[in-house]
Amino acid sequence: IYDVEFPVLVKEKLTPFDSVLVTGSCEQLGEWLPNRCIPLNHSDKTDQGETFKQARQLSLNHCMNESNDGTSSIVNSTTVDYELPDEFPAIFGCYKGVCRTDIGWLTGQSEIQLRFHSNALQIWSSKLCNNKISLKVSLIDLNYQQENEEISSDSSGQIFTPTLKVFIQAALLRLSGCEANIQSDYGAVIEKDDYMIVKIQTFEPENIAYHIDFYLVDETTPLRKHIGFSCFTNTFKS
């Protein structure tokens, strides 16, 4: 079991009275109920977090308790009125009348996972078998290939056009921990006993194929040598 912290970047300008909340399909995340969302803390705040402000004017009583011989008495009491905060509809992904949700299952996208485990990557060359290898998964738009060019049998010079509205993320799990990120230019380094998952979100899973590039990792330079590739089509039916 890994304890992973996921930072959330909010680009919208927030006032001191605004809160950022998260919800999900499990009980711990509120089961998509707006009144059970989990508030997120600012990075410069304590772990106590911030309270959710209701969409109405509030009057709060602040008091101090003084205890003498087991009894309590109120020694000071004040009332503070807070301004009416902005009201937001209970529609996920919508803010100020604009729908901001662009990826994920809420938009009707399909999610595909490619999993590399049980030492699935085998290098037969004796010169490369003891070297570190990185792999990167790219997508081929089958619609573009069919409409705009003939696919040559010699794919060494083939230029693959990326599909539109596709999100790719790779997660690498090993004994020392796990990493999840957007793929870099040379993909992710995969070693013995690693478990790698590549997640793909797309609106048209039946119109994409998968192109996997392999690179030789040299610790002395950030550049990596391309040593081969593999292509395979999907199993979805239109």
209-224 per-position pLDDT tens digit? 899 999 998 888 888 8
Core vs surface per residue 156-166: b (16+ CB within 10 A) or e: eeeeeeebeeb
Structure confidence at residue 69 (pLDDT): 57
Share of the chain above pLDDT 70, in %: 57
Tens of pLDDT, residue by residue over 155-198, are: 455 554 444 567 788 888 887 777 776 678 888 888 888 888 89
Structure confidence at residue 65 (pLDDT): 39
Tens of pLDDT, residue by residue over 12-55, are: 677 777 777 777 777 877 777 777 878 877 664 434 333 333 33
Structure confidence at residue 223 (pLDDT): 85
- Tell me the pTM: 0.50
Provide the sign of the torsion angle of the four alpha carbons 113, 170, 4, 111, taken in this order.
negative
d(CA 143, CA 209): 10
Share of the chain above pLDDT 90, in %: 3
Tens of pLDDT, residue by residue over 98-155, are: 776 766 666 778 888 898 887 777 777 778 877 888 899 998 888 765 555 554 444 4
d(CA 84, CA 98): 22
Looking only at the bridges linking them, the beta strands covering 21-22 and 98-99 are unpaired
